[in-house]
Amino acid sequence: MMVSAYNIRHLLVHFLTFCYYAQVTNQSPPNFTQHVSEQSRVTDRVSRRLIRMYQLYSRTSGKHVQVLPNKKINAMAEDGDVHAKLIVETDTFGSRVRIKGAETGFYICMNKKGKLIGKKNGQGRDCIFTEIVLENNYTALRNARYESWYMAFTRRGRPRKGSRTRQHQREVHFMKRLPKGHQHPQPVHHRPFDFIHYPFNTRTKRTRYSSER
C-alpha cells in the first residue's frame, strides 16, 4: 500500500511535535533552594540594608563579645558595656551580616590565619558572617571568605582560631541579646480591615446618618 507525501508530512509533523512536548515535560523544575543559596552569597548593593543593634552572649565565657579601641576582639564584656553594643548590617537578602562595634566603629573580621581582628573598612568578604540558627536556638557565625571557619571564644573569652572551630562546638554558640536598658518594640495589632477615618464633627455625623436612612 502506497503512502502519500501528504500523509508522510502529516506524520512527520506529529512526530516532531511529540518530541518537543516530551523534551519540555522531561525538564526538571527550577531549583529555588539553589537559587536562594547562590544569591545569598552575592553582596546586595541595591536594596536598603537592615540595621540592628544587639549584644552577642558567648555560651562558653558567659560574657559578651566586645570590640575594643585597640582593634582587639574578645568575649569578656559585662551586660550593657559600651564596647559590647554591636551594630549589625545585612549584606544580602539572606542571613549574611557585617558586625561592628557601636563605640569604636571597627568591624569584626577574620584574617587568613583564622584570627579575629577589627577593621575600619568592613567591605571585604573576610568581614562578612553568615548567621546560622542552630537546633539548640543558639546562633553560629560562619565567615564568608573562610566558609568552614566560625567566630569562636574560649571560656576565658579569648578568640579561638577559625581553623580549629566546628559548628557543634560550644565555643561558636552565641545568643543575641538587646543592650541593657533597651526594650523590645511593642507589637502592633491590626484589625482584619483597617479603613481610613476622616475627622468629622457632630453635625456631619448626623447628616450622614440621616442620608443613609
> Is residue 94, in this structure, part of any structural domain at all?
yes
> Is residue 160, in this structure, part of any structural domain at all?
yes
Cell of 94: 539572606
Per-residue pLDDT tens over the stretch 37-88: 554 555 655 555 789 999 999 999 999 999 999 999 999 999 999 999 999 9
Per-residue pLDDT tens over the stretch 157-170: 999 999 999 999 99
> Is residue 88, in this structure, part of any structural domain at all?
yes
> Is residue 46, in this structure, part of any structural domain at all?
no
Domain count, the chain: 1
> Is residue 26, in this structure, part of any structural domain at all?
no
> In this structure, are residues 83 and 66 in contact, taking their beta carbons and an 8 Å threshold?
yes
Cell of 75: 568575649
Strands 86-90, 64-67: pairing is unpaired
CA distance 25 to 70: 61
Domain that holds residue 83: 51-177
pTM, to two decimals: 0.66
> Is residue 4, in this structure, part of any structural domain at all?
no
> Is residue 111, in this structure, part of any structural domain at all?
yes
> Is residue 125, in this structure, part of any structural domain at all?
yes
Q: Which CATH number is 73's domain given?
A: 2.80.10.50
